[in-house]
């Protein structure tokens, strides 16, 4: 049995109410959906496809947090 890997998912919502997911350690990898449940299903699928493609995973990143700044 292989060890499970963890990936950080950054989730945002656009002006139409759609959810967008990006993955900092998987360059250029992202997905979207109308609900969070569907988004997370898509996220798992897209991560698996990315890993199967053999693209490089940037394991050097460590999630610290997210902040918003108003200017």
11-65 pLDDT per residue, tens:
999 999 999 999 999 999 999 999 999 999 999 999 999 999 999 999 888 889 9
Q: What pTM was estimated for this model as a whole?
A: 0.83
Rounded to whole angstroms, the Cα distance separating 70 from 25 reads 26
Beta strands per DSSP E along 1-71: 10-13, 19-22, 30-33
What residues are paired with 20 via a beta bridge? Answer: 12, 32
pLDDT at 61: 86
| The pLDDT of residue 1 is above 80 | no
Rounded to whole angstroms, the Cα distance separating 30 from 25 reads 11
What residues are paired with 68 via a beta bridge? Answer: none
For the chain, which residues make up each domain, given as ranges? 10-53
Exposed / middle / buried, residue 54 (Cβ in 10 Å: 0-12, 13-18, 19+) = exposed
Class for the domain spanning 10-53: alpha beta
Pair of tokens at residue 54 = 């053999």
């Amino acid at each position: 049995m292989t060890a499970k890997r963890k990936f950080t998912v950054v989730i945002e919502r656009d002006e139409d109410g759609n959810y967008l997911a990006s993955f900092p350690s998987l360059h250029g990898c992202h997905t979207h959906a109308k609900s969070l449940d569907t988004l997370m299903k898509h996220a798992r699928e897209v991560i698996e496809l990315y890993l199967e493609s053999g693209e490089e995973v940037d394991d050097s990143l460590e999630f610290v947090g997210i902040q918003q700044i108003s200017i």
